A and B are shown apart, each in its own frame.
Chain A
Amino acid sequence: MLRLVRRRLGSAALSLLLLTTIAFVLSHLTPGGPAYSILGPGAKPDAVAAINHEFGLDLPLWRQYLRWLWALAHLHLGSSYLSNQPVGTLLVSYEKNTILLQLVSLTASLAIALGLGMIHGVYHARGAGRIIGAIELGLYALPSFFVGTLLILWLSMGLGWFPAGGLEDLRLDHQTFGAALSHLALPATTITLLTVPVLSRYFAQSVHEELGRDYVRSAAARGASPLRILFGDVLRNALRPLVTILGLSLPTIFAGGIVTETVFSYPGLGWLLWQSAIGQDYPVLIGIVLVIGVLTVLGNLLADLVNGLLDPRVSYA
């Protein structure tokens, strides 16, 4: 188990270092840069030089890189070129919103997917299973930005039920619970609609597999009722693969969140990533990539470990 943890963390560290180094070099070689983002295209040369000096951008590249690595080792991610706030503070305040959104969506997705997947798995060759299968197939092909745009068009503009965005100043502590909830509704619905087919299909598959196993047959032969077999034995065993998928889809859910958050201008990490990409705000950009990379690795690791706890047969070769 320790070996697995060490290997995973090792390759993660390698990949993050690789990526951020490439990013660092590329971002500092391209023309433009923060000075032009801040001052606009018609900036005067001396103003540009002053800003470059302020951010240490006039030093040779290798010295900037060493300075940056040194700061990184001390968890200093620098300051945003655009808002001048420390990157760490920015990340924490936006990450809170993302975690809230993802938790709400994941809870809803799991509740729906478990129900649908169970029905799909049990009746998989019959009418109900076929219909659910077709729905899953359809939902699976829906892109988040299309769903989001339609929801805004119908529920927000058409019916006026929910705000469509424009909540750039949403900080949860300044909002009433109801207002926060109404801002959450549409992005959470979008993410849920896209997560349900993936989870429910996995769950259906594993319910179906479990139902074909010997223990089910012998339990039935001993006279256990179908409901008892289904909820007593099959459910627990069928949940196990879902844990792996949840861990593996942590970054997927996260990456899906980038587009969804942007559609609704929901102030989460994904929206911040987009903002800093558009504004070429490199310190923030690199900081977010680091955070997402770490979360991805931790998610995968967690999935492996929990899977090992649920099933002692899993080995960590």
Chain B
Amino acid sequence: MRDGVAARLLSRRSLPRGALLGGLLLAVLILALCFALPLVWTADPYALNPVSPLAHPSARFPLGTDEIGRDNLARVLDAGRATLLVAIPGAVITFLAGLIYGLSSGLAPRWADAVLMRLLDAVLALPGLVVLIFFAAILRLSTPSLILLLGLISWPPLARLVRNETRAVRDRDYVQASRQMGAGLFHVATTHLLRVMAPVLAVNFTFLVGDMVLVLSALSFLGLGVQPPQTSWGGLLESALQLVALDPWWLILPPGLLIFASLLSASLIGQGLLARQGGGR
């Protein structure tokens, strides 16, 4: 969401070696932490331990405890699940919305394409985070509506990309030939266009997941995203900031570093894919 895909075009040779592999490993690690570790570390993220509030990390509490003695490791893992289970479906919805809108506009007759693109201009005229804050303030979101809102606000850049690709490919000979032989638009879209665009789409989906984690965390940090009692990484950081005078570094670093790792992983995978496709020089 910070900027378009072009910003991420880094020359291939200045990308650290093994970026793609590193990014994938990081992603597996984060997913394992959030979804597999809770099977082993079974502490209750909501159970109070009034005897040990704000405890430093120890064998009993590997990441310490928060201000009312809740186990911070369990809370970070729980928050991670909540964050990813909103961000990833949000990315899927964005992806599908952008794809369908872009394909329709690209394959539509010229006048319909013009109308759809003007509408897109209108949606793009405002920064996504502002629109999100706006609706989040008015609607007071539950988890499903949060996913839907994230998905429905971030699709325009992808839609434009898909539309331009579609326009570029639809007049090629093999597509024309396929049309002559009686193939419908749907067939053309699903076989020819999607196959040509698959690499670009894969890169964009990766970036989308990163963007969603960032936006959702920012929104939750502002108190407008995932709502208490459910925690999220952004929410954990916000409550740690409230206690900052007490120097609770063990409450600040884990959620912050996990958001950082998620964004870095998405960025590495996306750029690694781009470099493999010869997108950079």
Q: Which residues of B contact A293 (CB under 8 A)?
A: 125-126
Instruction: Give the complex CA separation of A201 and B2 in angstroms.
Output: 14
Query: Of A129, A205, A296, which is within 8 A of B126 by CB?
Result: A296
- Given A143-B218, A150-B252, check contact A124 B13 (CB 8 Å): yes
Instruction: Give the complex CA separation of A262 and B221 in angstroms.
Output: 10
- Given A141-B264, A145-B217, check contact A255 B130 (CB 8 Å): yes
| A183 is an interface residue with CB less than 8 A from chain B | no
Write the nearest CB–CB distance from B245 to chain A, whole angstroms.
6
Q: Is the beta-carbon distance between B137 and A277 smaller than 8 angstroms?
A: yes
Instruction: Give the complex CA separation of A164 and B244 in angstroms.
Output: 10
Query: Of B128, B244, B260, which is within 8 A of A153 by CB?
Result: B244
Instruction: Give the complex CA separation of A113 and B272 in angstroms.
Output: 23
Query: Of A30, A125, A153, A262, which is within 8 A of B139 by CB?
Result: A30
Instruction: Give the complex CA separation of A239 and B36 in angstroms.
Output: 49
Q: Is the beta-carbon distance between A273 and B130 smaller than 8 angstroms?
A: yes
Instruction: Give the complex CA separation of A30 and B131 in angstroms.
Output: 17
Say which one of B52-60, B166-174, B234-242 lies at the interface with A. B234-242
| B267 is an interface residue with CB less than 8 A from chain A | yes
Instruction: Give the complex CA separation of A142 and B14 in angstroms.
Output: 20
| A55 is an interface residue with CB less than 8 A from chain B | no
| A109 is an interface residue with CB less than 8 A from chain B | no
Q: Which residues of A contact B13 (CB under 8 A)?
A: 124-125
Contact with A along B1-16 (1 / 0, CB 8 A): 0111001011101111
Contact with A along B215-258 (1 / 0, CB 8 A): 00110011110000000001001101100110101001000100
Contact with B along A260-274 (1 / 0, CB 8 A): 001100000000011
Q: Which residues of B contact A81 (CB under 8 A)?
A: none
- Given A11-B118, A11-B121, check contact A133 B260 (CB 8 Å): no
Contact with A along B113-134 (1 / 0, CB 8 A): 0000010011111111111011
Instruction: Give the complex CA separation of A131 and B263 in angstroms.
Output: 19
Report whether over half of chain B's contact residues are helix, strand or loop; otherwise say mixed. Answer: helix
Q: Is the beta-carbon distance between A258 and B130 smaller than 8 angstroms?
A: yes
Instruction: Give the complex CA separation of A54 and B45 in angstroms.
Output: 46
The listed residue with most B CB atoms (<10 A of its CB), out of A146, A249, A293, is A146
Instruction: Give the complex CA separation of A121 and B238 in angstroms.
Output: 38
Instruction: Give the complex CA separation of A137 and B264 in angstroms.
Output: 8
The listed residue with most B CB atoms (<10 A of its CB), out of A145, A205, A249, A278, is A145
Instruction: Give the complex CA separation of A134 and B13 in angstroms.
Output: 12
Contact with A along B192-223 (1 / 0, CB 8 A): 00000000000000000010001001100111
Q: Is the beta-carbon distance between B136 and A277 smaller than 8 angstroms?
A: yes
| B86 is an interface residue with CB less than 8 A from chain A | no
Q: Which residues of A contact B218 (CB under 8 A)?
A: 143-145, 259
A46-80 with Cβ < 8 A to chain B: none
| A97 is an interface residue with CB less than 8 A from chain B | no
- Given A145-B234, A152-B244, A256-B2, check contact A19 B126 (CB 8 Å): yes
| B138 is an interface residue with CB less than 8 A from chain A | yes
| A297 is an interface residue with CB less than 8 A from chain B | yes
Q: Is the beta-carbon distance between A138 and B264 smaller than 8 angstroms?
A: yes
What is the chain B residue whose CB lies nearest that of A273?
B133
| B34 is an interface residue with CB less than 8 A from chain A | no
Q: Is the beta-carbon distance between B241 and A289 smaller than 8 angstroms?
A: no
Q: Which residues of B contact A254 (CB under 8 A)?
A: 127
What is the chain B residue whose CB lies nearest that of A120?
B14
| A170 is an interface residue with CB less than 8 A from chain B | no
How many B residues, CB 8 Å from partner?
A: 58
Instruction: Give the complex CA separation of A120 and B11 in angstroms.
Output: 10
Instruction: Give the complex CA separation of A138 and B240 in angstroms.
Output: 23
Write the nearest CB–CB distance from B78 to chain A, whole angstroms.
19
Q: Is the beta-carbon distance between A133 and B14 smaller than 8 angstroms?
A: yes
Write the nearest CB–CB distance from A150 to chain B, whole angstroms.
7
What is the chain A residue whose CB lies nearest that of B268?
A137
Instruction: Give the complex CA separation of A273 and B234 in angstroms.
Output: 18
Contact with B along A275-295 (1 / 0, CB 8 A): 011101010010011001100
Q: Which residues of B contact A129 (CB under 8 A)?
A: 14
| A251 is an interface residue with CB less than 8 A from chain B | yes
Write the nearest CB–CB distance from A144 to chain B, whole angstroms.
7
Q: Is the beta-carbon distance between B267 and A137 smaller than 8 angstroms?
A: yes
Q: Which residues of B contact A251 (CB under 8 A)?
A: 126-127, 130
Q: Which residues of B contact A112 (CB under 8 A)?
A: none
Give me 8 A-to-B residue pairs in the complex whose CB atoms sit less than 8 angstroms apart, sorted by A's number. Answer: A19-B134, A133-B14, A137-B264, A145-B218, A198-B7, A204-B11, A255-B129, A277-B136
Residues of A within 8 A of B (CB): 11-12, 14-16, 18-19, 23, 26-27, 30, 120, 124-125, 129-130, 132-134, 136-138, 140-146, 149-150, 152-153, 157-158, 164, 198, 201-202, 204-205, 208, 245, 248-249, 251-252, 254-256, 258-259, 262-263, 273-274, 276-278, 280, 282, 285, 288-289, 292-293, 296-297
Closest 4 CB pairs of A and B: A277-B137, A15-B122, A146-B256, A141-B263
Known interface pairs A19-B131, A153-B249, A293-B126; 14 further A-B residue pairs with C-beta atoms within 8 A, sorted by A's residue number: A11-B122, A11-B125, A16-B125, A26-B135, A30-B140, A132-B14, A137-B264, A149-B237, A201-B10, A204-B14, A255-B128, A256-B2, A262-B222, A278-B137
